Amino acid sequence: MRIDVLTLFPAMFESPLSYSILKRAQESDIVEIVLTDIRDFATDRYRKVDDKPYGGGPGMVMMPGPVFDCFEYVEKLSPEKGRVILLTPQGQKFDQKKAVELSKEKRLILIAGRYEGFDERIRIGLCAEQISIGDFVLSGGELAAMVIVDAVVRLLAGALGDEGSAGDDSFSEGLLEYPQYTRPEVFRDMKVPEVLLSGDHEKIARWRRQMALERTKKHRPDLLKNNF
C-alpha cells in the first residue's frame, strides 16, 4: 500500500512513523508513506496558505490554490489513482469497519486541514471522501491522519508480528476484546482466572467469547445492537 499525506506540518509525523509497527511496516515495504508539505505549493513569497473568511468571522481558512496544486502534484507521483480522504470533523465517523475497508485499497491520499478548515471549494472540487475521527474538534488534521494510518497499517498482511492478533482485537468481530493476562500468575492478590491456566483450548475459547460478550454488554451495548 502507498499512503500519501498532504499536510502543513510533515514534521509532526516523524515520531509516530519511526516506532514499532509503523516503522517495521515501512522497512519491510508493506507500506510506503509519503508526506508532502502543502506550503510548498504557496505562490507568494510569504508562503501563504490561508486567508480571512469571506463574510467575516474569526480565524483563517485554507486557500484552495495551494491544496489543489499540491493534490494534483501528489496524484501524479504514482499511477495508482487512490482513494482521496479529507480529514474533517464534519465527515463520516471513522471506525474499525472503515479501517478494514481502507486497508484493502492500494493507495490512500489523506489531506489534513488546519486553521478554521478548508475553503468549501476544496471539498467540492476534489470530490474527496470526508472522514472524522470523532465528535470533537482537533487543531489540525495531522493527528487524525496518524490515527487512520496506524489503524489501517496494522491490518496489512505481515504488519503485525503475530498474524492472528488483529483478528482478536476489539471491534474486529463487533465485540470488545476479552480480558488478557500475562505473568505473574498472582499480582497483588489478583489471580489469573483458572481457565486460562487449564491448557484446554476449547474451554478457553468459550470463556473468552463469554467474557467478550459480557464486557461489550456492560461497556458498549450499542455494539451488540448494531452487530447482533
Report the C-alpha gap between 82 and 162 in whole angstroms. 28
Which of 10, 66, 114, 154 is an active site residue?
A: 154
Report the C-alpha gap between 39 and 60 in whole angstroms. 15
Are 61 and 85 in contact by the 8 Å Cβ rule? The answer is no
Shortest distance in whole angstroms from residue 87 CB to ligand SAM: 4
By the criterion CB under 6 A, which residues form the site for ligand SAM? 87-90, 112-114, 116-118, 132-134, 136-141, 144
Tell the burial category of 168 from Cβ atoms under 10 Å away from its Cβ (0-12, 13-18, 19+): middle
Q: Which is nearer to ligand SAM, 151 or 212 (CB)?
A: 151
Q: Can 215 be counted among the known catalytic residues?
A: no
Q: Can 169 be counted among the known catalytic residues?
A: yes
Q: Which is nearer to ligand SAM, 66 or 117 (CB)?
A: 117
Q: Can 154 be counted among the known catalytic residues?
A: yes
Q: Which is nearer to ligand SAM, 118 or 171 (CB)?
A: 118
Which of 80, 105, 116, 177 is an active site residue?
A: 116
Q: Closest residue (Cβ) to ligand SAM?
A: 113
Shortest distance in whole angstroms from residue 138 CB to ligand SAM: 4
Shortest distance in whole angstroms from residue 167 CB to ligand SAM: 27
- The DSSP code for 118 is B
Shortest distance in whole angstroms from residue 135 CB to ligand SAM: 7
CB within 8 Å of 32: residues ≥ 6 apart: 1, 2, 3, 26
Shortest distance in whole angstroms from residue 93 CB to ligand SAM: 9
Q: Can 173 be counted among the known catalytic residues?
A: no
Residue 119 DSSP SS3: coil
Q: Which is nearer to ligand SAM, 17 or 133 (CB)?
A: 133
Cell 482521496 belongs to 84
Question: Where are the extended beta strands (E) located within the chain?
Answer: 2-7, 32-37, 50-51, 61-62, 83-93, 107-111, 129-132, 186-187, 190-191
The catalytic residue positions are 89, 116, 154, 169
